[in-house]
Amino acid sequence: MGRVAKGVKCSVTGCEKGAVRSLPVDKVTGAGLKVGETRRAYLCKEHYKEFKKETKKDRMLEKWRHGTP
């Protein structure tokens, strides 16, 4: 049972919602979200959606680079 299942809060500053995803903090800060100094960043549903929008181009380029459909 992980931390998300236990009910950890969103790591983005100013957000107090429950987290639904856990990601490395360097990827989250690279997407422009402000998080604290931890190893993992926990994101709520809205901030995870924002993260996906910001990293869409990077994920597409990575997919092309590795040749996976």
Taking only the tens place, the pLDDT of each residue in 10-68 is 999 999 999 999 999 999 999 999 998 889 999 999 999 999 999 999 999 999 998 86
- Domain residues for the domain of 55 are 3-66
pTM, two decimal places:
0.86
Residue 69, pLDDT > 70, answer no
Domain count, the chain: 1
DSSP track, 1-68: --HHHHTPBP-BTT--SBP-EEEEHHHHHHTT--B-S-SEEEE-HHHHHHHHHHTHHHHHHHHHHHT-
